[in-house]
A and B are shown apart, each in its own frame.
Chain A
Amino acid sequence: MPATLDTPPNAGARDFESPVADRPDVDLGNYRFGFHDQTDTYAFKSRKGLDREIVAQISEMKGEPAWMRDYRLDSLALFEKRPMPTWGGKLGDINYQDIFYYMKASSGQERSWDDVPEDIRKTYEKLGIPEAEQKYLSGVKAQYESEVVYGSLQQDLVDQGVIFTDTDSALREHEDLFREYWATVIPADDNKFSALNSAVWSGGSFIYVPKGVQIKFPLQAYFRINSENMGQFERTLIIVDEGANIHYVEGCTAPTYSSNSLHSAVVEIVVKKEGRCRYSTIQNWSNNVYNLVTKRAHVYGDATMEWVDGNLGSRLTMKYPACHLLEEGARGETLSIAFAGPGQHQDAGAKMVHAAPNTSSRIISKSLSKDGGRASYRGLVKIMDGATGSKSNVVCDALILDPQSKSDTYPYIECEEADVSLEHEASVSKIAEDQLFYLMSRGLSEAEASGMIVTGFIEPLVKELPMEYAVEMNRLIELQMEGSVG
């Protein structure tokens, strides 16, 4: 694979001012998850900062084999060598020496919520995770700071050979399988933040679905940052074997602090022949989290990879879930919703690389911006030489809710093959006076009317989510919309 595929689209081509820089402290409004727990009972807390000693200490704490420690140290060197990206959003005030890279809040991972330390358990109860687990999930991982504190998987899936564990345990318990796939989809030198993650990674989900196994209900991971200046660097690796099927869901929140936290995950997925993987994210970080995530899937013959990516919250998100369609008939899809509120910049999109004949991809992106927020769509469709008969369809729609807010679109298409079908549609609209008037003339208040227009705008995406998440997504959007008009 040429190296150009491994750099973000449009690297270096644009460097723009972000409105974020002009806002000292953003009004965090009614963010529901802004509470935090005490941290003095933690089992382990690294000192602040990033250097070889910290990285080696993390590896030692985890009792890792030497090859992983060396991989981390090499990655740190790559991270230090690489310049900060100059495109996307404003990254200027991340101070890497002012961050905690590793914190362990409890001594181990529990299989029963009753055994999880009370503070932490209560946090997850407030977030509604144990309740959701009982109702409609096949398994749950709860990560708190750097480590997974709770894990469960239905017994029948265990019996069928499904592995759903945290990534640290996977390295200990399934080292051969782990090593076969580790960093094969996203190498450490892919980009600055994948290098950082490779150096200090902790936690995340490791999933293996054996041949032909169909997992009916979603597996969910929930990522929670609790401390100020915390960096969360989970590493997720999902392997869907031939003809298998999985829906994985992740949710994320963090408390509201005056200084920033950093979330920089790496998610690698392999979907083998005729397999199917859907990965849904509902990310709702507080407005002081930098969310810089690399997500990529390798998709093989007649397999399907679907990213459903809901980006609410965070100060800056840069995230472009990618599918590399490597064998004939592979299919990739990204559905992305970004909502940029005050002081926020969502730079989100997707990458589809067609590397084999008759592959197909679809990108649907919906972005909303309000109260000075900025939502950017950034995407790449690349059709490589020989990928004949491939098809790609990109639709991106932006809705701007007031004159202070901003939306931009950076679509990139690179096509090396003639016999293909490429479609791109983009629209930008403001909430039209005529739409508001129409709904208000039927008795809806201005707030109800604009809320309804917004809900309608994202409806085509929300209906792709399972019911429970659709309800959650709509509720989050409603919260973001509250008090926005009038």
Chain B
Amino acid sequence: MSTLQITDLHVSVGDTPILRGVNLTLNSAEVHALMGPNGSGKSTLAYALAGHPGYTVTSGSVTLDGEEVVGMEADQRARKGLYLAFQYPVTIPGVKVADFLRHAVSNVRNPDRKEGGELISMREYRRELYERMDELSVDRAFARRYLNEGFSGGEKKRMEILQMAMLRPRFAFLDETDSGLDTDAVNVVSEGVAKLAAEQKMGVLIITHHDRLLHYNTPDHTHVMLGGKIVESGGADLAAELYTDGYAGVRDRHPEVAAEADARREAAPPELVGA
């Protein structure tokens, strides 16, 4: 059993504070939903947890089974078992999915592997990759394609989940994985996530506006973010309520945070809206 403990986390992008004291505890095999209006800081939390150099932790801590994660490079975090499924996965021309992922899997499964060190055996790797591709309805031909180049929105998202399945993280953060997917794709991805969570006892933080992904991955906990803080936590019923009624109720219950968030949104540079 593993625990990821986020304590009073403050994060800035440039000089602009985005997260202002986030507290959250994830345990193995738990599914958490993180909801909130655009610009409330959900994606910022995901990037900060994965170690994006553009997101500065100004105070607070993130520990994985007691070990401080803040200050680690992104690759160290991946080797410790953290995974971010990107909302907008980048394209890397000329780099084949299978080659890239073989390196990634080798590093994550053998965290002490040095550059140029031995890679996971090709046979074993290929068998496992094809198995996972079949499960997630990803055409095997994608193994030879360049990473995300020419992929549709849905194909990119499935590729994120495929990578997650291969890397078997202890904790995964899914950033709007369901946006841009059609219903069939949401079903495949949702089932895939649910299966991995169960099999691997993976802890999952699902960031979403919708309840579609949550339909298959019923959250044990739901958190609502507003103005860079978690203002409410509850169970699966809270997620359902937010999906049906929107955030008006939350704003009414926390008028001060809502007003402050609105004021900061007015003042924020436009590129940070949605962060």
Contact = CB atoms under 8 A, between A and B. Distances in A.
A434 B167 CA distance: 20
Nearest to A454: B94
A132 interface: no
Contacts of A435: 90, 92
A309 B243 CA distance: 59
A459 interface: yes
A448 to B, nearest CB: 6
Using C-beta atoms within 8 Å of the partner chain, give the interface range for chain A.
20 to 34
Interface residues of B, number: 32
Interface in B75-97: 75, 77-79, 83-84, 86, 89-90, 92-95
Interface stretch (A224-232, A272-280, A438-446): A438-446
Contacts of A433: 53-54
B35 to A, nearest CB: 23
Contacts of A443: 75, 78-79, 103-104, 107-108, 167
Interface of B: 50-54, 73-75, 77-79, 83-84, 86, 89-90, 92-95, 99-101, 103-104, 107-108, 115, 146-147, 163, 167
5 contacts: A441-B78, A442-B101, A443-B103, A443-B104, A444-B100
B107 A456 contact: no
A439 B92 contact: yes
A456 B75 contact: no
Contacts of B84: 441
Contacts of B83: 441
B107 to A, nearest CB: 4
Given A448-B103, A452-B100, A457 B94 contact: yes
A182 B197 CA distance: 73
A459 B94 contact: yes
B90 A434 contact: yes
A447 B89 CA distance: 20
A163 B85 CA distance: 60
A446 B103 contact: no
Contact of A444 (B51, B53, B54, B104): B104
Nearest to B47: A437
B93 A457 contact: yes
A441 B47 CA distance: 10
Interface string A418-452: 00000000000000111101111111111111001
A458 B107 CA distance: 24
Nearest to B107: A443
Contacts of B54: 433
Given A441-B50, A448-B115, A453 B78 contact: no
Contacts of A459: 93-95, 146
Interface string A456-482: 111110000000000000000000000
A453 B95 contact: yes
Given A443-B107, A443-B167, A437 B74 contact: yes
B204 to A, nearest CB: 16
Contacts of B101: 442
Nearest to B149: A456
A439 B100 CA distance: 8
B143 to A, nearest CB: 15
Given A433-B54, A448-B115, A442 B92 contact: no
A449 B52 CA distance: 14
A46 interface: no
A453 B104 CA distance: 14
A446 B52 contact: no
A358 to B, nearest CB: 31
A134 B83 CA distance: 48
B87 to A, nearest CB: 12
A445 B100 CA distance: 12
B151 to A, nearest CB: 14
A444 B107 contact: yes
Contacts of A452: 92, 95, 99-100, 103
Contacts of B75: 440-446, 449
